[in-house]
Structure 1
Amino acid sequence: MQPSPDQNAHDDVTTAFRAYLQAMLDGDTHALDNLLADGCTLTHITGYVQPKDEWLSQTRAGQFLYHGTRAKWRLQMTMDYAREGDTWSVIRSAATTW
Protein backbone atom coordinates (compact mmCIF):
# COMPACT_ATOMS: atom_id res chain seq x y z
CA MET A 1 0.00 0.00 0.00
CA GLN A 2 1.33 3.42 -0.98
CA PRO A 3 1.49 6.20 1.65
CA SER A 4 -1.13 8.91 1.25
CA PRO A 5 -0.09 12.28 -0.20
CA ASP A 6 -0.68 13.79 3.26
CA GLN A 7 1.66 11.24 4.85
CA ASN A 8 4.30 11.88 2.18
CA ALA A 9 4.07 15.64 2.80
CA HIS A 10 4.31 15.10 6.57
CA ASP A 11 7.39 12.91 6.16
CA ASP A 12 9.02 15.37 3.75
CA VAL A 13 8.41 18.35 6.06
CA THR A 14 9.72 16.36 9.04
CA THR A 15 12.89 15.57 7.07
CA ALA A 16 13.27 19.23 6.10
CA PHE A 17 12.77 20.33 9.73
CA ARG A 18 15.40 17.89 10.97
CA ALA A 19 17.82 19.16 8.31
CA TYR A 20 17.10 22.72 9.52
CA LEU A 21 17.83 21.81 13.13
CA GLN A 22 21.06 20.04 12.17
CA ALA A 23 22.18 22.97 10.03
CA MET A 24 21.54 25.34 12.95
CA LEU A 25 23.55 23.15 15.33
CA ASP A 26 26.36 22.87 12.77
CA GLY A 27 26.30 26.61 12.02
CA ASP A 28 25.93 25.65 8.35
CA THR A 29 24.60 28.87 6.86
CA HIS A 30 24.92 27.50 3.31
CA ALA A 31 22.50 24.68 4.17
CA LEU A 32 20.23 27.11 6.03
CA ASP A 33 20.17 29.39 3.00
CA ASN A 34 18.95 26.44 0.93
CA LEU A 35 16.36 25.36 3.54
CA LEU A 36 14.83 28.84 3.94
CA ALA A 37 12.74 30.23 1.10
CA ASP A 38 13.64 33.54 -0.46
CA GLY A 39 11.61 36.12 1.44
CA CYS A 40 11.57 33.98 4.59
CA THR A 41 11.28 35.88 7.87
CA LEU A 42 12.32 34.83 11.35
CA THR A 43 10.47 36.38 14.28
CA HIS A 44 12.53 36.53 17.47
CA ILE A 45 11.16 36.31 21.00
CA THR A 46 11.51 40.08 21.17
CA GLY A 47 8.97 40.37 18.34
CA TYR A 48 11.56 41.57 15.85
CA VAL A 49 10.78 40.22 12.38
CA GLN A 50 14.11 39.63 10.68
CA PRO A 51 14.61 39.01 6.96
CA LYS A 52 16.41 35.81 6.01
CA ASP A 53 19.47 37.53 4.51
CA GLU A 54 20.01 39.69 7.61
CA TRP A 55 19.72 36.65 9.91
CA LEU A 56 22.13 34.60 7.80
CA SER A 57 24.63 37.48 7.74
CA GLN A 58 24.50 37.82 11.52
CA THR A 59 24.75 34.06 11.95
CA ARG A 60 27.84 33.97 9.70
CA ALA A 61 29.33 36.75 11.86
CA GLY A 62 28.83 34.63 14.99
CA GLN A 63 26.06 36.78 16.46
CA PHE A 64 23.78 33.75 16.75
CA LEU A 65 25.15 30.48 18.03
CA TYR A 66 22.90 27.46 18.37
CA HIS A 67 23.89 24.39 20.33
CA GLY A 68 22.47 21.50 22.27
CA THR A 69 20.70 22.19 25.54
CA ARG A 70 22.85 24.12 28.01
CA ALA A 71 20.07 26.04 29.68
CA LYS A 72 16.32 25.75 29.89
CA TRP A 73 14.39 28.07 27.63
CA ARG A 74 10.61 28.10 27.56
CA LEU A 75 10.22 28.59 23.84
CA GLN A 76 7.64 27.62 21.32
CA MET A 77 8.69 27.54 17.68
CA THR A 78 6.21 27.84 14.86
CA MET A 79 7.41 27.23 11.33
CA ASP A 80 5.43 27.53 8.12
CA TYR A 81 6.57 25.51 5.14
CA ALA A 82 5.70 25.78 1.46
CA ARG A 83 6.48 23.40 -1.32
CA GLU A 84 8.66 24.78 -4.09
CA GLY A 85 8.87 22.14 -6.80
CA ASP A 86 9.96 18.98 -5.00
CA THR A 87 11.38 20.84 -1.99
CA TRP A 88 9.73 21.99 1.22
CA SER A 89 11.15 25.34 2.40
CA VAL A 90 10.57 27.46 5.49
CA ILE A 91 8.64 30.60 4.61
CA ARG A 92 8.19 31.88 8.18
CA SER A 93 9.61 31.00 11.56
CA ALA A 94 8.51 32.50 14.86
CA ALA A 95 9.78 31.89 18.38
CA THR A 96 7.70 32.87 21.37
CA THR A 97 7.96 32.31 25.09
CA TRP A 98 5.28 30.46 27.02
Structure 2
Amino acid sequence: MNEQDKKLITQLYRDHNRYMVAGDTKKLGALLADNFHLVHMTGMVQTKAEWLGQIDSKQMNYFSSTEEHVEIKEERGNKATLIGQSQVDASIHGSRNTWPLQLNLHVEKLADGWKIMNIDAEMY
Protein backbone atom coordinates (compact mmCIF):
# COMPACT_ATOMS: atom_id res chain seq x y z
CA MET A 1 0.00 0.00 0.00
CA ASN A 2 1.43 3.35 -0.99
CA GLU A 3 1.53 6.57 1.04
CA GLN A 4 -1.21 8.16 -1.07
CA ASP A 5 -3.62 5.34 -0.19
CA LYS A 6 -2.72 5.69 3.50
CA LYS A 7 -3.48 9.43 3.32
CA LEU A 8 -6.80 8.75 1.58
CA ILE A 9 -7.80 6.15 4.20
CA THR A 10 -6.88 8.50 7.06
CA GLN A 11 -8.91 11.28 5.41
CA LEU A 12 -11.81 8.86 5.03
CA TYR A 13 -11.78 8.32 8.82
CA ARG A 14 -11.57 12.05 9.52
CA ASP A 15 -14.38 12.81 7.05
CA HIS A 16 -16.47 10.07 8.66
CA ASN A 17 -16.06 11.72 12.06
CA ARG A 18 -16.69 15.22 10.70
CA TYR A 19 -19.90 14.25 8.88
CA MET A 20 -21.08 12.17 11.86
CA VAL A 21 -20.75 15.20 14.16
CA ALA A 22 -22.32 17.51 11.56
CA GLY A 23 -25.24 15.09 11.20
CA ASP A 24 -24.68 15.17 7.44
CA THR A 25 -25.99 11.74 6.59
CA LYS A 26 -25.85 12.39 2.84
CA LYS A 27 -22.07 12.95 2.90
CA LEU A 28 -21.56 10.29 5.58
CA GLY A 29 -23.55 7.77 3.57
CA ALA A 30 -21.40 8.44 0.50
CA LEU A 31 -18.36 7.17 2.45
CA LEU A 32 -20.06 3.88 3.27
CA ALA A 33 -20.41 0.82 1.05
CA ASP A 34 -23.98 -0.12 0.12
CA ASN A 35 -23.84 -3.26 2.31
CA PHE A 36 -22.13 -1.41 5.20
CA HIS A 37 -22.87 -2.41 8.78
CA LEU A 38 -21.84 -0.98 12.13
CA VAL A 39 -21.24 -3.05 15.25
CA HIS A 40 -21.66 -0.71 18.23
CA MET A 41 -19.66 -1.09 21.45
CA THR A 42 -22.79 -2.70 22.96
CA GLY A 43 -22.73 -5.41 20.28
CA MET A 44 -25.77 -4.00 18.49
CA VAL A 45 -25.48 -4.33 14.71
CA GLN A 46 -26.99 -1.73 12.40
CA THR A 47 -27.23 -1.53 8.63
CA LYS A 48 -26.26 1.62 6.79
CA ALA A 49 -29.91 2.71 6.48
CA GLU A 50 -30.69 2.05 10.16
CA TRP A 51 -27.66 3.96 11.45
CA LEU A 52 -28.11 6.95 9.15
CA GLY A 53 -31.83 7.00 10.00
CA GLN A 54 -31.06 7.18 13.72
CA ILE A 55 -28.63 10.04 13.12
CA ASP A 56 -31.32 11.87 11.10
CA SER A 57 -33.90 11.34 13.86
CA LYS A 58 -31.37 12.42 16.55
CA GLN A 59 -31.69 9.07 18.35
CA MET A 60 -27.94 9.07 17.84
CA ASN A 61 -26.59 12.60 18.07
CA TYR A 62 -22.84 13.21 17.91
CA PHE A 63 -21.62 16.53 19.38
CA SER A 64 -17.85 16.21 18.98
CA SER A 65 -15.08 13.77 18.14
CA THR A 66 -11.54 14.53 19.26
CA GLU A 67 -8.97 12.35 17.53
CA GLU A 68 -6.26 10.85 19.72
CA HIS A 69 -4.64 8.11 17.63
CA VAL A 70 -4.85 6.67 14.10
CA GLU A 71 -3.11 3.56 12.79
CA ILE A 72 -3.52 1.75 9.47
CA LYS A 73 -2.99 -1.98 9.20
CA GLU A 74 -2.78 -3.31 5.67
CA GLU A 75 -4.54 -6.60 4.99
CA ARG A 76 -4.20 -6.87 1.21
CA GLY A 77 -3.53 -4.44 -1.59
CA ASN A 78 -7.11 -3.19 -1.91
CA LYS A 79 -8.24 -3.80 1.70
CA ALA A 80 -7.09 -2.31 4.96
CA THR A 81 -8.14 -1.72 8.54
CA LEU A 82 -7.82 1.67 10.16
CA ILE A 83 -7.88 1.82 13.95
CA GLY A 84 -8.98 5.24 15.12
CA GLN A 85 -9.25 6.34 18.72
CA SER A 86 -11.23 9.46 19.60
CA GLN A 87 -13.06 11.00 22.52
CA VAL A 88 -16.66 11.10 21.29
CA ASP A 89 -19.33 13.26 22.95
CA ALA A 90 -22.68 11.81 21.94
CA SER A 91 -26.25 11.25 23.00
CA ILE A 92 -27.25 7.68 22.20
CA HIS A 93 -30.95 6.96 22.70
CA GLY A 94 -31.15 9.81 25.24
CA SER A 95 -28.01 8.97 27.23
CA ARG A 96 -25.25 11.56 26.79
CA ASN A 97 -21.63 10.86 27.62
CA THR A 98 -18.10 11.26 26.28
CA TRP A 99 -16.75 7.86 25.36
CA PRO A 100 -13.17 6.85 24.53
CA LEU A 101 -14.27 5.25 21.28
CA GLN A 102 -12.11 3.05 19.12
CA LEU A 103 -13.42 2.54 15.61
CA ASN A 104 -12.00 -0.30 13.57
CA LEU A 105 -12.80 0.75 10.00
CA HIS A 106 -12.59 -2.04 7.47
CA VAL A 107 -12.07 -0.32 4.15
CA GLU A 108 -11.79 -1.45 0.56
CA LYS A 109 -10.65 0.27 -2.60
CA LEU A 110 -13.52 0.02 -5.08
CA ALA A 111 -13.90 1.43 -8.60
CA ASP A 112 -14.99 4.80 -7.17
CA GLY A 113 -12.33 4.98 -4.45
CA TRP A 114 -11.92 3.87 -0.84
CA LYS A 115 -15.16 2.96 0.96
CA ILE A 116 -15.90 1.94 4.53
CA MET A 117 -17.25 -1.61 4.36
CA ASN A 118 -18.00 -1.98 8.06
CA ILE A 119 -17.03 -0.58 11.44
CA ASP A 120 -16.51 -2.34 14.74
CA ALA A 121 -16.75 0.10 17.66
CA GLU A 122 -15.35 -0.49 21.14
CA MET A 123 -13.99 1.51 24.04
CA TYR A 124 -10.27 1.81 24.69
- What's the TM-score bracket when you normalise by the shorter of the two chains? 0.7 to 0.9
Structure of greater Rg: 1
3-state DSSP of counterpart to 2:117: strand
Deviation by residue 1:28-59 (Cα, 9 ceiling, x = unmatched):
00001101111011011110111111111111
More strand by share: 2
1:35 paired residue number: 31
1:73 is matched with which residue: 99, 109, 118?
Answer: 99
**Number of matched pairs:** 94
The residue identity in structure 2 corresponding to 1:92 is: N
More helix by share: 1
> Which range is displaced more, 84-93 or 27-36?
84-93
2:42 paired residue number: 46
Give the alignment of 1:1-98 within 5 angstroms: 6-68=2-64, 70=89, 71-98=97-124
Q: CA deviation at 1:18?
A: 1.3
The residue identity in structure 2 corresponding to 1:37 is: A
3-state DSSP of counterpart to 1:24: helix
The residue identity in structure 1 corresponding to 2:100 is: R
Q: Answer 1 or 2: higher relative contact order, Cα 8 Å, separation at least 6.
A: 1
User: Hey, which bits of structure 1, 4+ residues long, moved more than 2 A?
Assistant: 69-72
Runs (5+) with no aligned partner, structure 2: 65-87, 90-96
* TM superposition score normalised by structure 1: 0.85
* TM superposition score normalised by structure 2: 0.69
Runs (5+) with no aligned partner, structure 1: none
> Distance in 1 between the 2:23 and 2:102 partners?
21
